Amino acid sequence: MRGLITGANRGIGLALAQHYTQIGAQVLSGARLPALGQIALDVSNPASLQAASAQNGQPLDLLICNAGVYLDKNEALDNGYAAPLWADSFATNVTGVFHTVQAFLPQLRAARGKLAIISSIMGSSASTSGGSYIYRASKAAAANLGRNLALDLARDGIPVGIYHPGWVQTDMGGAAASISVQTSATGLAQRFSALSLHNSGCFETYDGTALTF
């Protein structure tokens, strides 16, 4: 299996890269500021994506759009959520997903590979605990993007899944989160393995629980 993971320099992306490496898969780890062995890949920069695609033109069995930001965690409703936060969040969490898919679509088509989009339960219409309006909206948009990509890519034999990784003990999730990155990565890898054209367009948690769009 040959795959590519965006945002693989830390957290869930890094744990996924380690998981696949341990089982003998060939994984390209993309990062905005790459470490040794990673490729330079800034999902908010189309030129970076195109350069990475041109340099890594082999077929892809799995593309994992994991890169994401959570910039409005502590914003106040009365005077927070400034316009730049919206623009920067959507540039990574939504536009970045689309441009990543667009850049690596030839490699996915060549392998009739799978596309996995990391969204969040916070982007589900059933999640109504308030706050984090930018993050919620961007993750809802990413889920909607995945749902529609599933329809268009079915003709190419490419299934698309949208996933909530769980509340994970990362810099984003915090130390009080309920599961480790290893638990999340293992569960997500199982979901990716089960993804096919029969369940393309699914929105699931790392443990297989179905979510509402």
Residue 43 maps to a domain: yes
Q: What is the pLDDT of residue 178?
A: 75
Total structural domains within the chain: 1
Distance CA 187, CA 182 (A): 8
The reported pLDDT for the residue numbered 171 is 67
Residue 81 sits in which domain range?
2-205
Residue 68 belongs to a domain: yes
For 164-175, write each residue's pLDDT tens digit. Answer: 998 887 766 666
Q: Considering the domain boundaries, does residue 211 fall inside one?
A: no
Per-residue pLDDT tens over the stretch 75-103? 999 999 999 999 999 999 999 999 999 99
71 within domain boundaries: yes
Residue 31 within a domain: yes
Give me the mean pLDDT over the 110-123 stretch: 98
Q: Is the pTM of this model over 0.85?
A: yes
Helix axes of 95-111 and 46-55: crossing angle, nearest 10 degrees: 20
Q: Is residue 213 part of a domain?
A: no
Residue 212 placed within a domain: no
CATH of the domain at 120: 3.40.50.720
